Structure 1
Amino acid sequence: MSNHALAERHRLAELLLAAGPEAPTLCAGWTTRDLAAHLVIRERRADAAPGIRVGALAGWTKRVQDGYAERPYEELVGLFRAGPPVLSLFALPGADEVANTVEYFVHAEDVARAGEEWTAQPVPAGRAEALWRRLPMIARFEAGRRSPVRLVLARPDGQSLTVGPAGSATVRVTGEPGELVLFAFGRGARTALTVDGAADAVEALRHALPLPAQ
């Protein structure tokens, strides 16, 4: 059975080590050290993890994350690479694969594409399919809620899904599953995607979600 989350965990750990502790990422305001600390507390500190999504708890989460960020960088990356402790929810059978395949893929690209010079690397076929299966929910709750236009997210082979407000102008965004996932999460400026639609609709979309330079 494939374990895409585990493969992406190790890829992300390698990218973090290669970049060093003070490298930029695509997570606004975060260096690689900040990202590594985030990854560790997400699966090792159940008391602090809720603040990642809940604004009212964000202050405590930041204090815990900042504390972890003061640790030696190699130790932080090592904790992340080692995986969740036994009592973590992420250690439950199947939880890592379900919860972390997309998370780690996106964060790996946050490191890999942060510099001015970047290239979209091929994603293994099985992993690309795993990302595509998760895209409908991601697109609905991320890009679909922010987009002012109807979005058709299409693969080069013609498979597609549609999200966004019905009755509005339509913009077609085409690329490999991994690129579409990154777009849905607001990383579209650093993707190998093509965007087609009426100029005013594309411009409206660009104001809501980053798009690659055309």
Structure 2
Amino acid sequence: MYLKIIEVINSLDVARISEERKELLKELIEYIQEKAINNDEIRLNFICTHNSRRSHLSQVWAQTMAHYFQINNVFCYSGGTEATALFPMVVTTLQEKGFQIQSLAEGKNPKYSIKFSKKEPPIIGFSKVYDHPFNPTSSFAAIITCSQADTGCPFIAGTEKRIPITYEDPKVSDNTFKQTEVYSNRSLQIATEMYYVFSQINC
């Protein structure tokens, strides 16, 4: 794992997570734990409306924390109720945290290779609907990262568990002087909560 990412992980403070948030995370912990005990593949699909910000941050940090805590057979995905594009500020924010990111394809919906380690395969980042062929069609948990997607996705085919863990949209800071700070804080919030989730897993 890249040194800068390890430094960010070491700086996270799970004590900042409220009891209310821990209660929200409990269902995800239980899902992962059951799969880990049975040596089953753990498929997590993080879903937001546009698959442009929160769902990607969640996917990347969840995959990173699974590797950090050596939880095997974890495969993280993301999707939306509609496809748009991975917002450039998300790419910048992840790069600032130490992720190595390369452009794979340009255009209205660019694709990126997102790496947290030299030795591990990259996360492929691009916007897509939650049931895109790139994503699992069965035996997965759908983690809903925004309230709009929670109401906009009344039914998700193939999911074993639907878990709402919503985050405030950093989009509110776009084109303001607080944009960098807001995106960084949201990234760190998600990183901290995914750290907490995977730290609770016993294999």
Structure that is richer in strand per residue: 2
Higher relative contact order (CA 8 A, sep 6+): 2
The two structures share one fold, judged by TM-score above 0.5: no
Scaled by the length of structure 2, the TM-score of the pair is: 0.28
Structure that is richer in helix per residue: 1
